[in-house]
Amino acid sequence: MLNISNNQVPQDKIATYSAFDRIQCLTIPKIVIWSSLVIVILMIIAAFLPWTQTLNTKGKITALYPEQRPQKVYPTIGGRVDKWFVREGDLVKKGDTIVLLSEIKTDYFDDKLVDRTEAQLRAKSSSVDAYNSKANALEQQILALQNTLDLKRNQLENKLQQQYLKITADSAALQNALNKLDIARIQFYRTDTLYARGLKSRTELENKRQKQQEALANKIAKENKLLATRNEATIIQIELSRINAEYADKVAKARSNQYSSLSSAYDATSQVSKLENQLANYEKRSEQYVVLAPQSGYITDLYKEGLGEIIKEGEAILSIVPKNHQLAIEMEIAPMDYPLLKKGQKVQIFFDGWPAFIFSGWPEMSSGNFLGKVNTIDNVANKKNMFRIMVVEDNSDPKRKWPSALRMGSGAQGYILLEDVPIWYELWRQLNGFPPEYYKEREREKLKMKPAANQFKK
């Protein structure tokens, strides 16, 4: 007690006062002190133990490749359900019949639609052959007209050449007649002169006059013959022009008919192509009434049930889960953690339905966990502003293989393993809200700078 008064309470009377029982000093046992000291020391030692930094994420099981994921089956054409060949849970192989449809469009109700289209195709093909034959016949006709034109042209050209030779001969004969006329005139003039002098008789003078008249008549006859020959040559030239014009007109008409036939043949060929396309579409459509399994797998959902239901084009009828697939886990990572990821990074996985004891900082202490690795990292964030990663099985540890009973769609929780750091560093980082390895990089940069600093000191 504090000595603040000279009046003291005797020790034997303290027990009579209940207030003194409440303010008595308690002595702490030494075992408590030593236990607390040991706990503090253990906590300090534990603060320097290694701690594995992790990124926690959740996801669901899917297939690694798109063609191995559950897919919906769509019929190529719309129709009415006539018969089902499968039910939910059945295992089908690729090409197995799933459902039989019947036609619902009035354009395809004819049972002999394919046969009638084939008949139209044959008729139109025969029409093409007929037009081509007509075009070939007209080509032969054009060749015959050209040959006839060549023969007649050669004939007229030969006649014209003969007329040119006759003109040459008649010109020479006319020149001869002119020479004779000049000689006859000279002789008549001389005889007339001599007759005036009395040296020639009148008989000789009359004889020379007669020869002069004969030479003049011969000259006129030769001129007429030359003119007639030239006239015949002109007529032959006119005939040659007429023949050329006549046959050119015939050839042009035949060529026009030939082009018309070819045009009709091309149009018929186009219609044949359309009919062939239409026939192929009809035949292909007749095959689409039977919906086949696109790949081997299990039937999961039937979106249409019963008989007589109408299925529209592009409407799913059921879903198939592929039989052979490689499982993967689709997880999402926040943008702040995206730079820490890299392909091949180890992932500790816990599947829904498998009991597990989770200790993220010490993965070796966890129980019921499985091993995976990062296979794919998206380069673009999704609509939720998260980055998607694909985690596949890591076969490096045979004891931690994924269970064979896993199915697509199940949930999973993953811990992406990062660097090993002391526990005190991890607590300090999380209290300050720093990302993993942030100061780790700073320390690495300082370590890279140390050799250069030592050289500067030297």
CATH fold for the domain made of 70-103+289-321: OB fold (Dihydrolipoamide Acetyltransferase, E2P) (2.40.50)
Residue 45 pLDDT greater than 50, yes or no: yes
pLDDT tens digits for range 335-357? 877 877 888 888 888 888 887 66
pLDDT tens digits for range 182-237? 888 888 888 888 888 878 788 888 888 888 888 888 888 988 988 988 898 899 89
CATH fold for the domain made of 113-287: Helix Hairpins (1.10.287)
3-state secondary structure of 6: coil
Of the pLDDT bands very low, low, confident and very high (cuts 50, 70, 90), residue 448 is very low
Strand partners, 329: 61, 391
Mean pLDDT (the chain) is 81
Structure tokens, 394:
């890591």
pLDDT tens digits for range 122-175? 998 999 899 999 999 999 999 999 999 899 889 888 988 888 888 888 888 888
CA 59 to chain centre: 35
Q: What are the boundaries of each domain within the chain?
A: 50-67+325-457, 70-103+289-321, 113-287
Superfamily designation of domain 50-67+325-457: Efflux pump adaptor protein, beta barrel domain (2.40.30.170)
Residue 27 pLDDT greater than 70, yes or no: no
CA 455 to chain centre: 62
pLDDT tens digits for range 371-430? 889 998 888 888 888 899 999 998 887 878 888 888 888 889 888 777 667 777 777 777
What confidence score (pLDDT) does residue 46 get? 72
Residue 239 pLDDT greater than 60, yes or no: yes
Cα 209 to Cα 201: distance, rounded to the nearest angstrom: 13
Alpha carbons within 13 A on the beta-carbon side of 303: 15
Cα 213 to Cα 201: distance, rounded to the nearest angstrom: 19
Angle between helices 423-432 and 30-47 (to 10 degrees): 80
